[in-house]
Amino acid sequence: MPRVPTGAAAPTGEVVPAIPAYFDNAATTPLRPETLDAMLPWLSGGPANPSGSHQLARAARRAVDEARDVVAACLGCHPGEVVFTSGGTEADNLAVLGAHRARPGQVLCSAVEHAAVLGPCRSVGGSTVPVDGMGRVDVGALRAALHRDVVMVAVMAVNNEVGTVQPVDEVVAVVREAAPGAVVHADAVAAVTWLDVASVTSGCDLVAVTAHKFGGPHGVGALVVRDGTPWVPVLSGGSQERARRPGTVDVAGVVGMAAALAASVAERAETVTRVGALRDRLVAGLVSSGCGARPTLGADFADVAVAGTAHMTFDGVQAEELLLLLDRCGICASAGSACASGAMEPSHVLLAMGIASAAARQALRFSLGRDTTAEDVDRVVDRVPVLVDRLRS
């Protein structure tokens, strides 16, 4: 966990704790101990390129194959359907561009997709499907948009900003009925810790995940390409990953990813229950504090969002200013996307949900994880009202 200098004065006059209260797990998660243990032999051992033929290379290839078996079991696919990538962004790009290259045509995605899907979708002339006020894709609008020229539909399993669980099963059913030749892609990057991805995405043709969202290392992810899916490689230059993603495989990375994924799946039920209770405690504490905080998804947020996300709106307070003060108090949170200049822009997710631009600039995301404690939650509930009052005054 990153540390800040001790003894620094917070805006409230308190001493900033040495270890921040980390509420940005939706952005990245702390490395699990199982991950580090699995990776260390490959980080500190001899050279090992799994594409070689000597004994060190063969050992590396066995490690990659074993990791592939674990990832496949956790994601509900065959080992040969797993393509290791550099992360979720590459996996999403390969999914969209590879499907479109195989069968050029219309691509549809929800209006609240991550930029890793929205970008390539727009680059091939694709269109977005609207969502409701909770951020769920409008299945009726999707049905109306489907026609024989649609070659792909992309809908994320869980929204990375507000935590909304998407009706993936409904989407798959509608696509199979109205455009049976279309490929369905699920960005499951934000889902692994909270949902049974193998079950949720069982009807999808393509599925993307990334390790650092569930306690694995940065720079490694996977794309599931189910056998028979119309999809062709986007990159060229090597035979690795059955020529679907050329380049030397990061042995330590994929081994660490497999360890983190297996541990996350094994602990999921306990994590969801424990973290969900902490999330509800945080939301209830902020709402009852009288600081004008309210769940962005409304009072029924827990019915539609994963257990780790508390997306809150603070009336009359700019999120960017509140985040700065929180950071100075040793509390790490986040808001919407920021443009290249560093100025906070309204989240495209919130705008797609029908939230006005001014209100969107007042929203923060507190994302909890397996390491979040009750003490962390209490720090947020204690400090946020003070900081909000200071900004308003």
| Contact status, residue 281 vs residue 340, Cβ threshold 8 Å | no
Assess whether 109 carries a catalytic annotation: no
Reading the chain (393 residues) residue by residue, the pLDDT tens digits are 444 444 455 655 565 666 899 999 999 999 999 999 999 999 998 788 999 999 999 999 999 999 999 999 999 999 999 999 999 999 999 999 999 999 999 999 999 999 999 999 999 999 999 999 999 999 999 999 999 999 999 999 999 999 999 999 999 999 999 999 999 999 999 999 999 999 999 999 999 999 999 999 999 999 999 999 999 999 999 999 999 999 999 999 999 999 999 999 999 999 999 999 999 999 999 999 999 999 999 999 999 999 999 999 999 999 999 999 999 999 999 986 433 334 468 999 999 999 999 999 999 999 999 999 999 999 999 999 999 999 998
Return the CATH fold of 33-263. Answer: Aspartate Aminotransferase; domain 2 (3.40.640)
Residue spans of the domains in the chain: they are: 21-31+268-392, 33-263
For domain 21-31+268-392, the CATH superfamily is Aspartate Aminotransferase, domain 1 (3.90.1150.10)
Of 74, 204, 291, 339, which residue is the catalytic one?
Answer: 339
Neighbours of 339 (CB within 10 A): 8
Backbone angles phi, psi at 85, to 5 degrees: -130, -175
C-alpha closest to that of 276 among 303, 245, 237 = 303
| Contact status, residue 50 vs residue 252, Cβ threshold 8 Å | no
What does the block give as tokens for 95? 């999914």
Q: Which residue has the tokens 């720090």?
A: 379
